[in-house]
Every structure is written in C-alpha cells, then in structure tokens.
Amino acid sequence: MHERARQHFDGFFRHLGDERRLSPLTLTHYRRDLSRCMTYCDGVGIADWERLTAAEVRGWVSALHQRGLSSKSIQRALSALRTFYRYLLREQTVTRNPASGVIAPKSTRRLPATLTADQAARLVALEARDPLAARDRALLELLYSSGLRLSELVNLNIPELDLSAGSVRVTGKGRKVRDVPVGTKAREALRAWFAVRTQFAGADEPAVFVTRNGRRLGGRAVQARLRWRAKQQGMEVPVHPHMLRHSFASHVLESSGDLRAVQEMLGHANISTTQIYTHLDFQHLAGVYDKAHPRARKKTTT
C-alpha cells in the first residue's frame, strides 16, 4: 500500500473508532472487506484509490461473486467501501464516491429460525437447583424476555438493571442506548441469581453474569451453556442466543401487531430490518389458514 493510501486508511479507522465509536468486531469486518478490495486493485494494477471508477468497483464485485462469496458478504464489503469513500469525500480527498451507484447481487432473504411459545417456555423452565443453574435460568429468561443481542447480554452491568421498574438499559450497535422492558418471570429469575451471585463475584465486579471464578461471562460461554441447557430441557432443535431474540420479536409482534414498538425494543435503526418478522407472522397465519379453512387446499381425487 502506498504511503498516502495508508494515511487515508489510518485516518478512516480512527474516524470509525473514535468518532463513530464502532465496536472492535465491526472494525475488524471493515478491515477485512477493504483488504479484499485492496488485494483486487493490486492484482489488476489499480494503484490510485483517488481515481477508482464505478466500473472498477463493479469488476471487484463481480470477482467476489465468482469466488463464491455470498450475496450478504458482498453487500457488506460494498457498504464498507461506500463508507470509506464517504469519509474521503468529507476530508476532500476525492470528488465522488465510485461505489455509490454499484448494486450488489440480490440475496434470497432467509427467515430467522424461531421457537414456538411452548418451546420457549420449556427452554426457560429450568430448575435452579444450584447457583450456576440460577445464573443460566436468569440469562435465558432475560434473553427471551427482552430480546437482547448476545453482546448486549454479556456486557450488561448491574446498575443498568432496574428490577423494581422492570426495565434494562442496553447499549447496542453504534453505542446507541435504549430502555427495554423486563418481564415478571425474568425479574424473578434475576433476583434468584443475585441472591447467590456473591458466591462467585466480588463487590467490585459490575457484570450481571459471571463465571464460577467471578469474571464476566463471555459470549462463547453463553452459547455453550445455552446449547447444553437446551439439550437438558429436551429441545429437538439447535438453540442459540439469537434464536431467543428472534423468538421474542416474533411472539411480541404476533400478539401486539405493533411493528414500531418491536423496532424500538430490538434497537433496529431501520424498520425494514424489523419487517422480516411480519413475514414470520404471515407464515404462522398461513399455516393456521391451511389447516382451518375448508377451501384452503384442493382435495385430491383418485
């Protein structure tokens, strides 16, 4: 990479980290996606980032597609390049964004897997026979009750929970803060966990969920505990933390029909992200219709 291009990149990532306050994981994704573009440009002899054209960006997208990258991965990489050029425009380094008019291949949108209400109830009906079981039940209840992301759950600190008011203050993507309701069952489970949490954690540990050694519980540990507890509870489907978030959103939407409220609780910046749950709701309605309506399906004749 030329020295001038390296200065642009260093400034861009300072902008993402210091000004936009994006997470380290998001910064890693940006670096990977822009590195893909740099590798392509080097391979075809494009040395000047300031003169990159839309046709060259389309060539890069085509190359990614030919390599077998998924449409979602290509869309994310193209978004990273657009963001980089928006930064360069702001710094008056370039006069146009060559990625702005380039469209990534369309992807078939997969509907997220969810649990039924009965399955979710069975999963969280965990007997708190020991302190670790009390912890696991509390985190399961909170995931399903409030639709938290895994990162939001593991980064949660005690002062951010208000059990008397039934709310939790969550710091989500882009450091955006939102208040989310906490249901009665989740509050009961959290109180039971807090009653035994002192067996593991010292008074100076702010994390809501800790390991047996008193340190903050990590994301991989939560995933592993959830898989194990799901097997214990006789679940027939593989369960992961995001499935509980999807189940929360789907079940609230089915009962309320309030898409805006679900958007706020999930912390989605754009309601189009939340609208996928309307498709899940329609699937449920279509299933009921097919089973119940006398003229829903054609009768087979022999």
| Cβ within 8 Å of residue 243, ≥6 positions away | 112, 113, 114, 115
Nearest to 254 by CA among 293, 276, 282: 282
- For tokens 């067996």, what's the residue? 199
Strands 177-181 and 161-162 come out as: unpaired
What is residue 173's DSSP assignment?
G
Q: How far apart are CA 194 and CA 210, in angstroms?
A: 11
User: Euclidean distance between the first and final Cα of the chain, in Å?
Assistant: 72
Give catalytic residues, as residue numbers: 149, 173, 242, 245, 268, 277
Q: DSSP string covering 223-246, please?
A: HHHHHHHHHHTT-SS---HHHHHH
Helical ranges in 125-269 per DSSP H: 131-146, 150-154, 184-197, 219-232, 241-256, 259-266
Let me know: does 208 contact 222? Beta carbons within 8 Å: no
Q: How far apart are CA 72 and CA 64, in angstroms?
A: 11
> CA quadruple 114, 117, 118, 122: dihedral positive or negative?
positive
Q: How far apart are CA 189 and CA 123, in angstroms?
A: 14
Alpha carbon distances (Å) from 139 to 19, 38, 156, 198, 241: 32, 42, 11, 16, 10
